[in-house]
Structure 1
Amino acid sequence: MADVDETPEPSGWTNTTEPPPQRTAAHWTLAGLITLFGLVVFVAVVREGRADSAVLFVALPVLLAAALALTPRRTAHGQVFAATTVALLLAAVALHEGAICVILAAPLVYAVAHGTTALIRALREANRPYVLVAVPLLLLPGLEGSGMAPRLGPEQTVEVTRVVELPADRVADRLAAGPRPTAVRSAPLRLLGVPTPGRVSGDGLDPGDRWMFGYHGSAHGPGGHLLAEVENVTPGRVDFRFVEDSSITARWFTWRHAQLTWRATDAGHTEVQIRVDYTRGLDPSWYFGPIQQALLGAGVGHLLDMLALG
């Protein structure tokens, strides 16, 4: 019979291997209820036309992460990542969104999902009785724009100012000629594939003159167009109102008013400024507000390029 090595384990060595957590009926039941509630919320949000609210980008990831984190597995973060990715892609298909929406929303969704997972697992491992309380508290930021909580600062304004090497009268002539299709120079707009006008028509700076910005269609349908009309004219200033917007960008924001001004800084230079008032279409405000501000700023800069004021 072979000798048995009974050498004692060196001092200070401990067996740190822990048995895998047990899957109890209570855990599975709670995870299932949270998942079911998440599905009901998703259907209700879409049917009520609130798919652009924080419910979709904050509350639903919280529910998804909570359900997966409560299932006793060691790879909770891996499961959350996989499930969140699938949910993002399915939402993009179900809501007919393009890649840009998935790209912009993904950092928020992943952060919320993994943050929720980490918090719930920490509370469970510490045997704290706060797991059930944590989920409703985490859902609160996801109520913005859902109808259960107000929208925060949806009315936003973007201003772009540029000094061009032209006298003021030449600038006025170029503005009166109207915009023309121009290649996009902005790196963020190009990298993200942000829709920009591919068909542009119209000219004039007299009240009633109209400028049309047409967008190319996509796999989800026609691109639509934006129609702006000259509303008021004073020396060095033109105000526009938007009379029609069927463009593919209308879901993300609503144009309200635009103001174009110019003034000579010296004999050969003119300062041109465009101010655009719009209503943000996506919540939560603390995330999508700055993003839309930056992208629309780049878009207004592209409009100056289309007016040959680069």
Structure 2
Amino acid sequence: MTERKSSPGPDERWPSAWEAEPSPKPPRTATRARWILAGLITCVGAAFFVSAVRNGRADSALLFVALPVLLAATLSLVPARSTHGRTFVVTTIVLLLSAVVLHEGAICVVLAAPLVYAVVHGTAALIEFVKYSNRTYALLPLPLLLLGGVEGTSEQLRINPDQTTVVTRTVALTPEEVRERLSRGPVAAPARSVPLRLLGMPLPQRVTGDGLEPGDRWLFAYHGSAHGPGGHLLAEVDESGPDRLGFTFVEDTSITGRWITWQDAELRWRVVDAQHTEIRLTVGYRRGLDPSWYFGPLQDALMHSGGGHLLDMLALR
């Protein structure tokens, strides 16, 4: 008779292929070093933030690129279940606190949020990849990001801050009718542009002034008062011709001054046919946000929508 082999007891079972072996605990020395490094990175990030705010460059790439990189690096070094989950939560808290600190500049935080999330999660992913693959060359993009974070920390370290946007529109009016409507001056109107409505961009709530002669002024007041918390923008006609109108901005205390400095504007119009006229609005402005590769196209798109809104206020639809 063959001997029956007894099945192994609970303590003698072979481990199944799907049973995970307990991961070894990291040595205390490595954990302590990790915390020290995280603390140093946090101190450097805090120093960067304080420096940016004190120098009046809270809207520079230092805040939107370099600081998120340091933040993500710190969080990636702290042991926990999910690096990306922790990174998302802390980044969201930092963005909300920044919105509170910046007050009327909170719209800058909204515009910068996609960039900040991309930077922190990209940095966290790179560091996680290096930790588990030991391929340190993957960290090469991080110094480049930190180097790019100095853009905007001073006027000498800005890339093409002066920009121009052009809005062209054809209306069913004769040139004489166009000039007649311009002579009335603008009137406050609700925004028709989807980006302006979605972002809650501040718009003039009270507009006064008319005339097309040099020296005539148009005033755009925010929050319903020319001297209220929203401030105002004062434009003056400096050139006037049969088919063009030029403006300079002589005073700007508006709420938009944190991210836009208005410089000049020009309106031109030409006959298309007997019943239609083409209007071309050109606005020159100085961008207040950095880095340029992100905020340049973004602010140009918003200014294009704002130019369309100005034509709406002039009843040139």
Query: TM-score when scaled to structure 2?
Result: 0.90
Contact conserved, 2:249 with 2:264, CA < 8 A, in 1? yes
Residue from 273, 276, 287 that aligns with 2:280: 273
Matched, 1:74 2:81: yes
Superposed displacement of residue 146, structure 1: 1.2
Task: Say which SS state the counterpart of residue 257 (structure 1) adopts.
Answer: strand
Task: Say which SS state the counterpart of residue 229 (structure 1) adopts.
Answer: strand
**AA paired with 1:211?**
W
Matched, 1:179 2:183: no
Superposed displacement of residue 153, structure 1: 1.3
Distance 1:66 1:232 in 2: 54
In the other structure, the counterpart of 1:206 is: 213
Which stretch of structure 1 is more off in the superposition, 285-294 or 147-156? 147-156
Contact conserved, 1:52 with 1:282, CA < 8 A, in 2? yes
Distance 1:17 1:205 in 2: 81
Contact conserved, 2:108 with 2:259, CA < 8 A, in 1? no
Matched, 1:244 2:251: yes
- Structure 2: gaps (5+ residues): 1-6
Contact conserved, 1:143 with 1:149, CA < 8 A, in 2? no
Superposed displacement of residue 184, structure 1: 1.1
In the other structure, the counterpart of 1:230 is: 237
- The C-alpha deviation readout for 1:224-258, integer Å capped at 9, x for no partner, is 00000000112201110000000000110111110
Query: TM-score when scaled to structure 1?
Result: 0.92
- Structure 1: gaps (5+ residues): none
In the other structure, the counterpart of 2:306 is: 299
Task: Say which SS state the counterpart of residue 240 (structure 1) adopts.
Answer: strand
Which stretch of structure 1 is more off in the superposition, 255-264 or 145-154? 145-154
Distance 1:134 1:20 in 2: 31
Query: Could you say which structure has the larger radius of gyration?
Result: 2
Q: Percent identity?
A: 59
Contact conserved, 1:263 with 1:270, CA < 8 A, in 2? yes
- Judged with a 3 Å threshold, the aligned counterparts in structure 2 of structure 1 residues 151 and 292 are, in CA distance, closer, same or farther, namely same
Contact conserved, 2:188 with 2:206, CA < 8 A, in 1? yes
In the other structure, the counterpart of 2:3 is: none
- The C-alpha deviation readout for 1:116-155, integer Å capped at 9, x for no partner, is 0000111111234568876534311211111397211111
Residue from 120, 129, 133 that aligns with 1:126: 133
- Judged with a 3 Å threshold, the aligned counterparts in structure 2 of structure 1 residues 16 and 8 are, in CA distance, closer, same or farther, namely closer
More helix by share: 2
Task: Say which SS state the counterpart of residue 269 (structure 2) adopts.
Answer: strand
Superposed displacement of residue 9, structure 1: 5.2
- The C-alpha deviation readout for 1:94-136, integer Å capped at 9, x for no partner, is 1224553332111111110000000011111123456887653
